[in-house]
Structure 1
Amino acid sequence: MNSSSMAREGHRQARRAADSKVVSAGARAGFAARGVIYLLVGLLAGQIAFQGDGKQADRGGALQEISGQPFGGILLWVIGIALVGMALWRLSEAAFGAAGPDGDKAMKRVVSGARAVFYAFVAYSVLSFAAGEKSGGGSSDKQSQDITAQALGLPGGQWIVGVAALGVAVAGVVVGARAVMRKYHKHLRMGAMSRRARQFVDVTGVFGGAARGLVFAAAGVFAVTAAVDYDPDEAKGMDDTLRSFADTPAGPWLLVLVAVGLAAFGLFSFANAKWRKV
């Protein structure tokens, strides 16, 4: 066997490993873990809307909420490990291509790689919190302000923060628009669903995705303001971004709507755990 044939055989073996049941199970577990986090964030945001204060409505608040429940420590480890599975699945997509006819496109691989890094970070923060490192459950607002302050201190920091913030805002708009256009259909085994299941997926997918995109877009706008004003305190994490919706003319009802949307995205993530093409 020549070197070219060996390389092709090695690639096929790696591809089979990426398509293995273990990687598939990791992806589905990761979607379920994401669902738990978003469902809790939505519930915490709802508490803020109705009570005027409440606990922090972000990933850190969700982790703290889980840790206070019976067997919460064990559940944190399970969620963290499940998110590792999600990161590995996204990494396999970056390396070998995603499911579907256009899964081998270079841009999709780059996006999958970025998602792998993101979920690896989230998994690390959850596992760190489970191990007793409380910074893993820290405020997203402080983290955003600290990162923004460090970036602003770099040469050309305002431009770095501004471009990154604009990217987040645009990504939020794209996320929301793709949800409204139901682009997620191509990633799901729609034919395996009952009519009622398809309705459930469309309600939670459209509503949840739009709410998630709105939060990302708003956070990006706040970060742009931080860059323009050269003030890291203008940057907001998920908690402060959600609270800002209650300060709009719509009052707390807009926050209620977004909170329900985030909880719906959690339910949509559970649907992905069952019907996603992986």
Structure 2
Amino acid sequence: MDNKIKNIAKTGYVAKGAVYALTGILAFGAAIGMGSSSEGKLGVIKFLEEQPFGKVLLGLLGLGLLCYSYWRFFQSIKDPENIGNDHKGIGKRIGFFFSGTVYLGLGVFSLYEIFKQSDSSGSAKSEMLPTEYLPYIFYAIAVGMAIKSIFQFVKVYNGNFLSKFHLNKMSNRKTIKTIKWLGYAGWISRGIVVGIVAYFFFKAADTAYQGDIKGTEDAFSFLRQNSEGPWLVGLVALGLICYGAYMFIKAKYRRFND
């Protein structure tokens, strides 16, 4: 595989790690009563936008996410690591394509936030979509997210996510342990959040025409409503921070099958 493609993939992993780490940090801050409750991927963009040199940070994040999107599309279409064309391989490659689409949108949105004019309100959320089709779109998203959540836990059970590191060729036991612990904590937390988001999309399908779009921020709000809410939010938030750190480690130690 071309080194340029590998570097694009690694840049993308760093950007994705930044998104998840900041999501976890913001959620953890909200759980212990510090900072705002603006959680989720869009909350991360808003947070960065408000920082000194915010537009520079958003630009770097946006470009990194576009790199990750490109890598996912490349995996889906070119199949550089020979995943194959059997049912399992096709399923994975379709998953890569949808992942690329999501992060393409997030990357474009990050860059859009740099150049947009500050106008009075942002009301037009779902007006571009025919409202009569929104419930079906929401149901489809709910099913897709539910399947994704299940696959997160299957990966945890099988430990498949560790195969790309070639741990048997590593000599540093501390690095191996770090990769495993961060990976397991991160994947479990991500599976929980994705599952809750799927539930929200399913629940919101009947009122989708109202533009009641759910996301990670609503997932944390749902956790917070429980009597042990702050503890649950805190644990899941720490897990997402672990997932972000895992992505940073993945950028360094992930091995590509040429």
The two structures have a TM-score, normalised by structure 2, of 0.84
Name the amino acid aligned to 2:58.
L
- 1:107 aligned partner: 91
The alignment partner of 2:32 has SS state of helix
The alignment partner of 2:146 has SS state of helix
Segment drifting more, 125-134 vs 87-96? 125-134
Q: Answer yes or no: is the 8 Å Cα contact 2:58–2:114 preserved in 1.
A: yes
Greater radius of gyration (CA): 1
* Mapping 1:230-245, distance limit 5 Å: 232=210, 235-245=213-223
* Mapping 1:213-224, distance limit 5 Å: 213-224=191-202
Distance in 2, Cα, partners of 1:235 & 1:70: 30
| Cα pair distance change 1:206/1:152, threshold 3 Å | farther
State the Cα distance separating 1:261 from its structure 2 match.
Answer: 0.7
State the Cα distance separating 1:111 from its structure 2 match.
Answer: 2.2
Q: Answer yes or no: is the 8 Å Cα contact 1:223–1:235 preserved in 2.
A: yes
Moved over 6 A (4+): none
Distance in 1, Cα, partners of 2:34 & 2:215: 18
2:106 to 112, 122, 133: 122
Name the amino acid aligned to 1:198.
I
| Cα pair distance change 1:158/1:51, threshold 3 Å | same
| Cα pair distance change 1:226/1:272, threshold 3 Å | same
Q: Answer yes or no: is the 8 Å Cα contact 1:188–1:276 preserved in 2.
A: yes
Distance in 1, Cα, partners of 2:61 & 2:211: 31
1:92 aligns with 2:60: no
Name the amino acid aligned to 2:132.
G
1:169 aligns with 2:121: no
The alignment partner of 2:140 has SS state of helix
Q: Answer yes or no: is the 8 Å Cα contact 1:39–1:266 preserved in 2.
A: yes
State the Cα distance separating 1:194 from its structure 2 match.
Answer: 2.0
State the Cα distance separating 1:224 from its structure 2 match.
Answer: 1.0
Q: Answer yes or no: is the 8 Å Cα contact 2:16–2:68 preserved in 1.
A: no
The two structures have a TM-score, normalised by structure 1, of 0.79
- 2:132 aligned partner: 153
State the Cα distance separating 1:62 from its structure 2 match.
Answer: 1.4
- 2:227 aligned partner: 249
TM-align CA RMSD: 2.8
2:2 to 17, 20, 26: 20
Q: Answer yes or no: is the 8 Å Cα contact 1:245–1:251 preserved in 2.
A: yes
Name the amino acid aligned to 1:173.
I
Aligned residues: 250
For structure 2, the 5+ residue unaligned runs are: none
Distance in 2, Cα, partners of 1:197 & 1:147: 45
Q: Answer yes or no: is the 8 Å Cα contact 2:145–2:197 preserved in 1.
A: yes
1:197 aligns with 2:175: yes
Distance in 1, Cα, partners of 2:99 & 2:117: 24
| Cα pair distance change 1:94/1:254, threshold 3 Å | same
State the Cα distance separating 1:249 from its structure 2 match.
Answer: 3.2
State the Cα distance separating 1:242 from its structure 2 match.
Answer: 0.7
State the Cα distance separating 1:163 from its structure 2 match.
Answer: 3.4
Distance in 2, Cα, partners of 1:230 & 1:71: 36
State the Cα distance separating 1:182 from its structure 2 match.
Answer: 1.8
State the Cα distance separating 1:150 from its structure 2 match.
Answer: 4.7
Name the amino acid aligned to 1:244.
F
Name the amino acid aligned to 2:248.
F
2:32 to 41, 47, 50: 50
- 1:72 aligned partner: 54
2:203 to 205, 209, 225: 225
1:186 aligns with 2:170: no
Distance in 1, Cα, partners of 2:194 & 2:46: 22
Q: Answer yes or no: is the 8 Å Cα contact 2:149–2:191 preserved in 1.
A: yes
Distance in 1, Cα, partners of 2:55 & 2:207: 42
| Cα pair distance change 1:255/1:209, threshold 3 Å | same
Q: Answer yes or no: is the 8 Å Cα contact 1:180–1:206 preserved in 2.
A: no
Distance in 2, Cα, partners of 1:250 & 1:149: 39
For structure 1, the 5+ residue unaligned runs are: 1-18
